[in-house]
Amino acid sequence: MSPLSISRDLLVARLAEIRAALARLEQFDRVPLEEFRQGDHFAVAEHHLRRALEAVFDAGAHLVSRLGGARVDTYKEIARRLGETGLMSADFANGELTQMAGYRNRLIHFYHEVAVDELYEIVRHHRQDLERFARCVEEILKAPERFGLTF
């Protein structure tokens, strides 16, 4: 059975969402922790990180669903499957991407436990993981046939 076609429009839209969120999160590079703890900084950072993570896993789920095989039911399974299928490196998929899945779940289901210092650390020092995912999707869009996909 041949794989289903991927949607260029869907993936481009999710990449745009990730890039927009990254641009907004970049502002926190210039914000000291004490200032981040005040005002709306935490809420703004949480919002844009959550949106970026939702876009990552929407794109990931779309890609995984196009390859067929085992059904995935969790965000961590999406991450792992991206590695198993070669759409992303196994190291990245099982490491940073799986951690992103866990943090996405934390933001959604355990939002009341997310500490200011923790979020500050992530938006300042782990945005490159989102960027890496975006670059992987861009590579897939350039040559989907290299990954067993089509438009």
Look up the pTM and report it: 0.95
Report domain extents, the chain. Answer: 8-143
Asked whether the beta carbons of 67 and 86 are under 8 A apart, the reply is no
Domain 8-143 CATH superfamily: bsu32300-like (1.20.120.580)
d(CA 129, CA 112): 24
Q: What is the rounded CA–CA span in Å between residue 117 and residue 53?
A: 19
Report CA Rg, the chain.
16
Q: Quote the CA–CA distance of 124 and 65 in Å, as a whole number.
A: 32
pLDDT digits (tens, 9 = 90+) for 91-141: 999 999 999 999 999 999 999 999 999 999 999 999 999 999 999 999 999
At 76-89, the pLDDT tens digits run 999 999 999 999 99
Cα 125 to the center of its chain, rounded Å: 15
